Chains A and B, each alone.
Chain A
Amino acid sequence: MIINGKLVVSSSPHIRSVESVQSVMTDVLIALFPAALMAVLLFGYRALITMIIAVLTAMLVEAVWLRKRDIFNDGSAAVTGLLLALILPAAVPWWVVVVGSASAIIIGKQVFGGIGYNIFNPALVGRVILVVSWGGHMAGDIWSTPHPFAFGFDVSTVTGATVLASPEKAVTFSLPEMFIGTIAGSMGETSALALLIGGIWLVYKGHIDYRIPGGFMATVFVLGVVFGGGFYGNHLMTGLFHLVAGGVMIAAIFMATDFVTTPVTPGGRLIFGIGCGLITMLIRLWGTLPEGVTFAILLMNALTPIIDNFTIPRQFGGVNNSA
């Protein structure tokens, strides 16, 4: 391998790949584009401004921390910033976005040693810090009502509770509306359709393993059917409601599949996905918070090393140690 004009001789196996961190992160940004576009269509200029602030802050903070001129660098800061923006309410004040984005990069990522070393998903760390610090801007009746194709409309003027607040609130919207995304919620999480398009692109490019989102969504659906309470006429529909409402889609496709903070073994990934779904539904159905995907993924992030340890595959021709 040739690095900086010098031939570097290393031991085998050698993997030849055209992929780099930058190319993978660019693919993730492309996958997030439908969701970002949908956010701007639904929530207007406020969404666009929030996204720009979050991405710029993340890239600037990372560039300053690493003392690098190139602010795009490997692109991971831009992905973190955009993901954080997409899980914020559209009407959030600008300084909340700046603090969240900066703490996502510093406390979520750089204090652990930068890309590849962080224990928790940086965007979710940023979100949790904001929720704990400024609950008044991040939870309750602060979710903007979408105004499709009204770019100049200030969405902070009309706000309400999330559909997950209560079954009575939930039945005011139909499932197709939730699938398209014309409901109140974080600006990037409402449109299941846009997120699925991005997810299919990532699976096609081979960047994410279907086991994590699959396990996550299947668990949420099954628990929603069994314990959801059966509004919307029948229990199957309630399961679908839990799948498309709130943050399950964006979390399962983009957050729970983060390369750094999730297990590397196939079995471990399935366990990770199911665990995320389980904790999400526990918080939604029996907890005091309306939504639980953030804490579900952070908790499972913490368990990732244990899961990896439990699911080490046996070497070919090796002996099973426990036998």
Chain B
Amino acid sequence: MKAGNVYLQDLSRGIINENPVFRLLLGMCPVLGVTAFFINGLGMGIAATAVLIASNVVISALKNYIPSQVRIPCFIVVIATFVTIIEMVLQAFQPDLYEALGVFVPLIVVNCVILGRAEAFASKKPLLRSLVDGIAVGIGFTLALGILALVREVFGQGTILGPDPDSAIQLFGAGFEPMGLFGQPAGAFIALGLLLGVVNIIFKKFNIK
């Protein structure tokens, strides 16, 4: 097998076949917690992706120096470093988003997508492949969060690009009363369940395993 194929495989596996949200159901806490608005979902996805790529690269580079008995604490230290950086960057340049994401930004430290990739992939595979894997899984995570947040915002708020009233686009007329259920965490479960069903139907149709 040619070297280029491996990277392409890593890429498609991370986004589609092993999509962290739609296929592995990992990282449910931010998936359900911050997807009431599309912007928040996308912001969360990008923040997590940045941490994931950086931690994958560093952990892969250090894999020969990390003793296997204490590997999890070592991973956490690396991830926490990048989360702190991201947190400060968000606070400085995107204060609105930082406010909206709240506690879910520091919680990226224990996001099982990131820890899972560190343990299952970056600590065993070469540096370049870990980088590609981080990008792929990050895109998959962001994509899933974006789709879920879009569905929830359209039905639950009747807008796109909210909650900021300047950028929010009202999709329906003034007579539309949004379905409050999708704005709440309980509705996130129902929306995710329905989306998983749709994704499974699509995957079955195209015979993706």
Contact = CB atoms under 8 A, between A and B. Distances in A.
A133 B176 CA distance: 13
Interface stretch (B53-61, B83-91, B125-133, B179-187): B179-187
Interface in B169-184: 177, 179-182, 184
Nearest to A106: B194
A132 B184 CA distance: 9
Interface string B183-195: 0101100100110
Given A111-B193, A135-B180, 8 more contacts: A111-B194, A129-B181, A132-B181, A132-B184, A132-B187, A133-B180, A133-B181, A134-B180
Contact of A134 (B177, B186, B194, B197): B177
Contact of B179 (A99, A107, A111, A136): A99
A132 B197 contact: no
Contacts of B186: 132
Interface of B: 177, 179-182, 184, 186-187, 190, 193-194, 197
Interface in A121-147: 129, 132-136
Contacts of A132: 180-181, 184, 186-187
Nearest to B156: A133
A99 B182 CA distance: 14
Nearest to A95: B177
The secondary-structure label for the interface of chain B is: helix
A63 B15 CA distance: 37
B197 A111 contact: yes
Contacts of A134: 177, 179-180
Contacts of B193: 111
Interface residues of A, number: 9
A93 to B, nearest CB: 9
A142 to B, nearest CB: 14
A135 B180 CA distance: 8
Contacts, number: 20
Contacts of B177: 134, 136
A107 B193 CA distance: 10
Contacts of A99: 179
Contacts of B182: 133
A135 B184 CA distance: 13
Contacts of A136: 177
Nearest to B178: A133
Interface string A110-121: 010000000000
A57 to B, nearest CB: 16
A199 to B, nearest CB: 32
Contacts of A133: 179-182
Contacts of A107: 190
Nearest to B186: A132
Contacts of B194: 111
Contacts of A129: 181
Contacts of B197: 111
A129 B180 CA distance: 9
A156 to B, nearest CB: 16
A108 to B, nearest CB: 11
A231 B202 CA distance: 60
Complex A-B, nearest 3 residue pairs according to Cβ-Cβ distance, in ascending order: A133-B181, A133-B179, A133-B180
A87 B186 CA distance: 22
Q: Pick the most buried of A99, A134, A135: most chain B CB atoms within 10 A of its CB.
A: A134
7 contacts: A132-B184, A132-B187, A133-B179, A133-B181, A133-B182, A134-B179, A136-B177
Interface string A78-102: 0000000000000000000001000
Contacts of B190: 107
A111 B197 CA distance: 9
Nearest to A107: B190
B87 to A, nearest CB: 33
A107 B181 CA distance: 13
B184 to A, nearest CB: 7
A136 B197 CA distance: 31
Q: Pick the most buried of A99, A107, A132, A136: most chain B CB atoms within 10 A of its CB.
A: A132
A290 B123 CA distance: 56
Q: Pick the most buried of A111, A133, A134, A136: most chain B CB atoms within 10 A of its CB.
A: A133
B183 to A, nearest CB: 9
B193 to A, nearest CB: 8
A107 B194 CA distance: 9
Nearest to B197: A111
A1 to B, nearest CB: 35
B199 to A, nearest CB: 14
A133 B156 CA distance: 8
Q: Pick the most buried of B177, B182, B193: most chain A CB atoms within 10 A of its CB.
A: B177
